[in-house]
Amino acid sequence: MTAWAISKAQESSLFDHIVVSTDDEEIAELARKWGAETPFVRPVDLADDLTPTVPVVAHAIKSCLDFEWVADYVCCIYPCVPFLQVDDLIKTLDLAQKQNADFVYPVTEYAHPVQRAMRQLSGGKMQFLSPAYELTRTQDLEKTYHDAGQFYWGKASAWLEHKKMHTDGLGFPIPNWRVVDIDSTDDWMRAELIFNAINSTLELA
């Protein structure tokens, strides 16, 4: 997955430096093998499972400035992005520059209206979180979106100022059939099925 993310960044031809931030030498070695750079080691306090994204990117920018690597926009690409597309990287950077946006990132529409979300009570009984929408047709409800969890373009200054990349940013809608946030084995299986289906279609074409 890390190699895939690096290769897509390379294909885009957008980057002066492709840097992998890690505290793990095995990952660093793999990153270098695939053409990325690992000019610093991520500190321990930014390397646990609860570390937010913005401080990690801010640290990377500061570390790169030590090498006089200066950038107006910096892109954070997550490692598990099997459906990352080069065209999305290009279009979102273009949008960020044209709109002078602090951040731009891909979003996708929820597959089912969140207004009709339900919880399950003891005994199996179902209850709407928003009872007012129980009888509303799904097609009449406002579209809602979520972060695709793939990448974030941001001004270097916005990262360093620790701005909020979601609410201080612009969303770039992409189809939800190519968005899988891999957090579990079920997510991985779903991603494999979609990936294989896409590539089978491309081979047939």
CATH number at residue 65: 3.90.550.10
Residue 139 counted as domain residue: no
Residue 71 counted as domain residue: yes
How far is Cα 103 from Cα 50, in angstroms, rounded to an integer? 22
- Give percent of the chain with pLDDT exceeding 90: 88
Counting the structural domains of the chain, the total is 1
Question: What is the reported pLDDT for 202?
Answer: 58
**pTM over cut 0.85:** yes
Residue 98, pLDDT above cutoff 80: yes
Question: What is the reported pLDDT for 198?
Answer: 82
Interval 78-87 mean pLDDT: 94
Residue 129 counted as domain residue: no
The pLDDT tens digits of the residues spanning 114-141 come to 999 999 999 999 999 999 999 999 999 9
Residue 141 counted as domain residue: no
Strands 169-173 vs 103-109: parallel, antiparallel or unpaired:
parallel
Burial code (b: 16+ CB inside 10 Å, e: under 16) for 117-142 equals eeeeeeeeeeeeeeeebeeeeeeeee
Residue 198 counted as domain residue: yes
Best CA proximity match to 154, nearest among 94, 64, 87, 73:
73
Question: In this structure, what token pair is assigned to residue 106?
Answer: 């891909």
The pLDDT tens digits of the residues spanning 6-35 come to 999 999 999 999 999 999 999 999 999 999
Considering only residues 188 and 200, tell me which one the structure prediction assigns the higher pLDDT. Answer: 188
Confidence of residue 156 (pLDDT cuts 50, 70, 90): very high
How far is Cα 138 from Cα 144, in angstroms, rounded to an integer? 12
How far does Cα 56 stand from its chain's mean position? Answer: 14
Question: What is the reported pLDDT for 67?
Answer: 95
Residue 140 counted as domain residue: no
Q: Return the percent helix, strand and coil in the chain, to nearest 5.
A: 45, 15, 40
Residue 46 counted as domain residue: yes
The pLDDT tens digits of the residues spanning 32-59 come to 999 999 999 999 999 988 999 999 999 9
Residue 177, pLDDT above cutoff 80: yes
149 phi-psi bin (left φ>0, alpha ψ -120 to 50, beta other): left
Q: What 3-state DSSP class applies to 8?
A: helix
Q: What average pLDDT does the structure give for the chain?
A: 94
Residue 82 counted as domain residue: yes
Domain that holds residue 185: 2-107+147-204
Interval 87-109 mean pLDDT: 98
Confidence of residue 204 (pLDDT cuts 50, 70, 90): low
Residue 205, pLDDT above cutoff 60: no
